[in-house]
Structure 1
Amino acid sequence: MAEEESLQLEVKEPAKRPKWLMVAIIAGAGVLLAAIVAGVVILLSSGDDRQGAEQVEISTPLTPGDALYVGMPRPFLFNLPGEKRSYLVQIKVQVQVRGFGDQEIAKKHIPLIEDSLLSTFSAADAKQLSTREGKEELRTQALINVQTTLQGITGKPVVERVLFTGFVMQ
C-alpha cells in the first residue's frame, strides 16, 4: 500500500499569467525601441549641425577688424559691505576685442584680466551698485583697469569694452 500512495502523482495546471504582465512587457519594449530611435536621430542630426555651422562660416566670413567676445570662464562672486548689511554680488563678464589677434591675446591673459576685474569689483560699494549709473561707472572703471593692465604686458590695450552679461545683487 505504501507503494501505491507514493506512485500517485498530482498533476497541476500551469499558472496563468496576469494580462497586465503581457501589456507591461510590450510597453517596456516600446519605450526601449523609442529610446534607441531617439539616440540614432540625435547622433545623425549632430553631424548636420556641424555642416550647417560650416556653411554659416563660409557665407559670413569674419574680417580682421570684427568685434569678437571673450567670456570669463566663471562668474565673479564676492561680498560687498553695505550700510545696514552685506550684499552678495555675482557678475558674469565678457570682454569685447577687435580681430582674431586681440582675441587670442585676451584668451591667453584671462587670469590677468580676471584679477584686474576682481580688484575693481571688490573696491565698489553696495550703494553705488544699486543704481544704473553706478553699474555703468563700475563697468567704465573695470575697462580702464583691464586696459591699463594689458597695456603693461602686451603694449596695447586689447580690450575695447567690458560687458556685464549677468548681474545679481542680494
Structure 2
Amino acid sequence: MAEENDQEQQDKPTGKRKKLLFIGGGAAIIIIAVVVIWLFSGSSESGQGQSNGGQASQVSADSSDAPEVGNALYVGMPRPFVFIVPGDARERTVQIKVQLMVRGEESEEQVKRHIPLIEGTLHEVFSSSTAEELKTVEGKTKLRELALQEVRNALESVAGPGLVEQVLFTSMVMQ
C-alpha cells in the first residue's frame, strides 16, 4: 500500500514542474508569434528592395518632389456646416459634414493652415443651393463639384494650385 502511494506521488508533476511547463509553453508561443510577425512584415520590404535593385534609390529621390500617388490623406472640417436653404413649401435646415482629400503631408499641413478660408468658401457654396437640388443624387454631385472648384480657386491664391483633390460629404441631413 505504501509503495502505491509513493508511485502515485512520483507520477504527478510537482508545483515547480507545472510552473516550468507553463512558463516554457508561454515562452514558446511568444517566440513563435514574434517569428511569424517578423516573417510577414520583413518579407514584403526585403522583396521590394531586391526586385528593384538600384532603382529603389532613384524612385525615392524622384518622389521627394511630388507627393506619392497612393498617399491620400483626409482633412476633416472641425465643425459640420449648418445652413438654411429655400424649399417648395418652406425653408429647410441642412447639416453637412465635410472632409477634404489631399495628397501628401505637406498638402495636408497647408490645408489645415487655411481651414477658416475653406470653411467660409464652403458655407457660401452650400447656402447658395436649394432643397430641391439637395434631394437628388445629381444635385448633391453638382454641389460637391462646385464646392471642390470653389475651394481650389480660394486656395490657389494663397497656397498654390492643386492642394485639394476631392471634397467628400461624410454626412448630410436635411430637415
- Please report how far the alpha carbon of residue 157 of structure 1 lies from its aligned counterpart in structure 2 after TM superposition: 2.8
Aligned-residue CA RMSD (Å): 2.0
Could you say which structure has the larger radius of gyration? 1
Q: 2:145 aligns to what?
A: 140
SS at match of 2:118: helix
Structure-2 separation of matches of 1:98 and 1:155: 14
Counterpart amino acid of residue 154 in structure 1: A
SS at match of 2:108: helix
Consecutive unaligned residues in structure 1, runs of 5 or more: 1-58
Q: 1:162 aligns with which of 155, 158, 167?
A: 167
Identity of aligned residues (%): 53
Structure-2 separation of matches of 1:69 and 1:91: 16
- Please report how far the alpha carbon of residue 73 of structure 1 lies from its aligned counterpart in structure 2 after TM superposition: 0.1
- Following TM superposition, where does structure 1 have runs of at least 4 consecutive aligned residues deviating by more than 3 angstroms? none
- Please report how far the alpha carbon of residue 131 of structure 1 lies from its aligned counterpart in structure 2 after TM superposition: 0.3
Structure-2 separation of matches of 1:120 and 1:148: 12
Instruction: Name the structure with the higher helix share.
Output: 2
The answer on whether the counterparts of 1:79 and 1:87 sit within 8 Å (CA) in structure 2 is yes
Q: 1:43 aligns to what?
A: none
Counterpart amino acid of residue 101 in structure 1: E
Structure-1 separation of matches of 2:110 and 2:135: 33
Q: 2:26 aligns to what?
A: none
For residues 118-142 of structure 1, what are the alpha-carbon distances to aligned partners after superposition, in whole Å with 9 as ceiling and x for unaligned? 0000011111001011000000000
Pair 1:80 & 2:70 matched = no
Pair 1:109 & 2:131 matched = no
Q: 1:95 aligns to what?
A: 100
For residues 80-111 of structure 1, what are the alpha-carbon distances to aligned partners after superposition, in whole Å with 9 as ceiling and x for unaligned? 11121111100000000000000000000000
Q: TM-score, normalised by structure 2?
A: 0.61
SS at match of 1:145: helix
Aligned residues: 112
Structure-2 separation of matches of 1:161 and 1:107: 15
